[in-house]
Structure formats: structure tokens, C-alpha cells
Amino acid sequence: MNDLLRNLPRVDDILDVVKEDLPRMVLLASIREVLDNTRAKITAGQTPNTSHEEIARQAIALARAKITPSLKRVINATGIVLHTNLGRATMSEKVAEHVKQIAMDYSTLEYDPKTGKRGSRTGAIENLLTNLTGAEAACIVNNNAAAVLLTLTALCQGGEVIVSRGEFVEIGGSFRVPDVIAQSGAILREVGTTNKTHLSDYKQAIETAAQTTPPPEYYGAWQNFAPQPKAPAVLKVHTSNYKIVGFTAEVAAKELATLGALSIYDLGAGTFIPFEGEETVQEAVKSGMDIVCFSGDKLLGGPQCGIILGKKEYVEKIRKHPLYRALRADKLSLAALEATMLLYQDIDNAKHEIPTLKMLLATGDELKEKAARLLGLLHNKYNAKLQEITGLAGGGSLPTQEFKSWAVAITHGAEKLEKHMRDWETPIIARIHKGTLLLDVRTIDETEFPIIAECLYKTTA
């Protein structure tokens, strides 16, 4: 052990061996880390290779890893279009080019070239949103969780928010509706049961809230200093990542909008085009709800952001709240959202140009032909075959809707092959079902077929 420790090379010795063009500080730290790890192995009774060449090889590999971004492109072969772990919605080439231009150059983010003065950061995008949806006004923040929190804070702080027990939604990252209401400074009032809530439950809660809030006269001579009673609000939460079926009842948005209370609709994954059993954003706005919130990076197929639509008086209050500045979207998200909304001006074109819509709307025949083209590149390797499968939209969207698809199925060495694909230069993420590796072509672009074919050929699985 002592001999091995004494023979460990010095940092300067390894620097003399390394001929790679790497940042000196990163390389030095990597060499020291490799030497420390080697020293620990020796102390633990192991006999690692302590040659200059081996230490240098490990240090170079470690230094390269440190200067390589961890966020990298992958090929999604799972068939899950809005795969949360893989970044959810992808951008069209047109949208990506626009974002690239805005990222690389100065822009008119808050400047109006016509007047030569400061311009609106989001005015043009908000006009697009109101024209597309029929809403009076719009506001954009960095995600839908922020949209809900900001709306509740700006409009409901100090008042009661009435929510059905069947809509106590939790999304990824332990984002829970009751917790958000509490964080906003509002008071949660639960109504109904898990499986059934009626309009009368909301009406009773509104009446009870009015009776339990002392009017200003209650404070007598001190009424000018008393807390002003705030009318209760009704919050409808779309159960976008689950469905309650069977003996159930829920109140539609258009009914809640008639109660006379402030009405807020957390639509979750908003969509501009109809999907089975899914309410569109346009329908939600038309229902008469005062505020409608939804995500930009799910069924809309845009960037991560939260969109708030609704009556102008309420949206203006939201925009003027101090929390808005902390939650507003950055310039790259705004660029991507505007470019996406421009595509929606022609719905038929949007279905073709927006990747999320194109993938979700692909037909079974189209996908079967597509899978056959990928299979043809494998030339019977692994005895692969076509297999009809079903998948989900993902991303907490369309939880009960299954999408029929086609995949290239490989049963030989599925586990080993799946790992090999993950370790590829461009990682290929597939799924294994009942011992079969499935390459679902719904989420694979045909330009990625050669990469997959090369990966599958260069393995001993």
C-alpha cells in the first residue's frame, strides 16, 4: 500500500502528459479529483492502475464531462408526446429559428420603433391571444402554476376560495391546489364530496361566506380602519392528470359563471383544437368564467409559460400586482409563444407545423407506414417486427384518451439494448413492455431513423 501511495504521480507530472486543449482550471481540478479517488482506493486495499497515462486518461474524461452541458438532445422513442422528463412540447423549426434570432441579437422586447419610445413587453402577443380565444384581455407568466398563484394572490387574498373536493389536484413536484390557495393568502372552503359536487353546494358556500364576514358597520366608529369584507371566489380546477368515473357529478364552468361570484378556471393543459372529452380554451372563455388559466407547453405545443385570459378589469389587477414582475415570462419564452400563436392563425397549418399537434393527430395508417420504413433500415436485424400499440399524450394531459400507434418491436436482448441506446452519443429513450423493446414512431422524427439504425447496428446485444 505504501509503495502504491509513494508511486502516485504529481499533478505537474500529469499536466506534462495531457496534450488536450482543455481549460486549465478544470483540468487541474479533474487531475486532483482522480488522484484523490485513486488514493482512496489504495487506502481501501485495492490496487488501481497508477500509471501517468491512466491517471491522465481519467482526468481528461472527467474534464470533458465538466465542460459538456448536461442538458442535451435525446431521441424520444417512447411514444409519449408530452414527456415531462424529456422536456414536454417540442418547437417547430420556424419557431426555433425565431427564438434563435431573438436570443442572438437585440430585439424590440420593450421598444416601439414607430414611436421611438418604450413599448409593451407583451402587447402584441396578448392581442394574438385575445383574437384567437375571444377573451377581453391576456397576461403571460412563466408557467401555469405561477398563473394560478398570481391570480389567487391578486384577486382573492383575504377572501374565501370555494373548491370542489373532487378537484383537489396535485401535479408533479407536489404542487397542490390547497397549498397554493394558502400561499396566496386566500382561505380555502371545501364543497361537495370526492365524487359528487352540485351547484347547490357552491351556492350554499357563497351564502355562508357572506354571513360569516362582518360588514363594515360592525366596527362602528372604527369602520374606516376595519378589514374590508371580500366576496368569495369560485375556483374550478380541471383534473387534467386524472379522471373520476362512475357515480359522479361535477358542475360545468358555464354554470359556475352564473353564481355572481368571481369565477376562476384552472384549465391545466389548454388546447385550441378539440380533443375527445377535452374543453378547448375558446369554450372555457365563452363559458363566462372571469379568469381562465392554462399552460403553454402542453396541448398548445408552445414554450413553458402560463397564460391568463379573462375580463379586462381582473386581468389589469393581476398585471399590476407586484408578484407579476417576479413571475413574468422571459424574452425567449415570449418569442416562442408569439411565433406559435402566429401559426394558430391558420388552424390547418398549425396542425401540420406544430410538432405536438402533428404527433397527436397522426393516424394509425400513417404511423404503420412510418414504422415500416424504420423497420426496413434494420434489414431483419434482431428479428424485429411491427407491433400495434397504444400510448398516452403525457404531461398531465388527456389522461383517459389512448392513442393507437405502431412500433418497431425487439424481443432479443431488450434490457441490454435499451441501456445501449441510452448510452449512445445522442441518447435514444425507448420503453420495455413485457420483455419487448418498443420504438414507438409517433414521437420519432424520420430524420432520426438513421441515428437509430446506426445505434442498433453497433451493438453486440
At residue 331, the 3 state secondary structure works out as: helix
Query: CB-based burial of residue 200 (10 Å sphere; 0-12 exposed, 13-18 middle, 19+ buried)?
Result: exposed
pLDDT value at residue 316: 95
Could you give the C-alpha distances from 314 to 66, 159, 286, 292, 321, in angstroms and in order? Answer: 48, 15, 16, 11, 11
The residue type at 396: G
C-alpha cell at 329: 415570462
Strand blocks (E) in 223-261: 233-237
C-alpha dihedral sign at 371, 376, 379, 380: positive
Cα distance between residue 437 and residue 440, in whole Å:
10
At residue 249, the 3 state secondary structure works out as: strand
Cα distance between residue 38 and residue 50, in whole Å:
8
Could you give the C-alpha distances from 254 to 54, 264, 267, 282, 290, in angstroms and in order? Answer: 70, 11, 13, 12, 11
**399: closest CA among 181, 197, 240, 188?**
240
Backbone angles phi, psi at 136, to 5 degrees: -75, -35
Could you give the C-alpha distances from 202 to 156, 234, 337, 424, in angstroms and in order? Answer: 16, 8, 36, 55
Query: CB-based burial of residue 379 (10 Å sphere; 0-12 exposed, 13-18 middle, 19+ buried)?
Result: exposed
CA gyration radius for the chain? 28
Residue 244 contacts residue 273 (beta carbons within 8 Å): no
Q: Encode the chain (461 residues) as per-residue pLDDT tens digits.
A: 788 888 898 999 899 888 888 999 999 999 999 999 999 999 999 988 989 999 999 999 999 999 999 999 999 999 999 998 999 899 999 999 999 999 999 999 999 999 999 999 999 999 999 999 999 999 999 999 999 999 999 999 988 999 999 888 887 666 788 889 999 989 999 999 888 999 999 999 998 886 665 555 544 555 454 444 567 899 999 887 677 777 888 889 999 999 999 999 999 888 999 988 789 999 999 999 999 999 999 999 999 999 999 999 999 999 999 999 999 999 999 999 999 999 999 999 999 999 999 999 999 999 999 999 999 999 888 889 999 999 888 877 887 788 999 999 999 889 999 999 999 999 999 999 999 999 999 999 999 999 999 999 887 65
**If you search the block for the grid coordinates 504521480, which residue do you land on?**
9
pLDDT tens for 197-256 read: 999 999 999 988 866 655 555 445 554 544 445 678 999 998 876 777 778 888 899 999
CA angle (257 as vertex; 255, 263 as ends), nearest 5: 130
Instruction: Please name the helix (run of DSSP H) or strand (run of DSSP E) that holds residue 70, with its range, or none.
Output: none
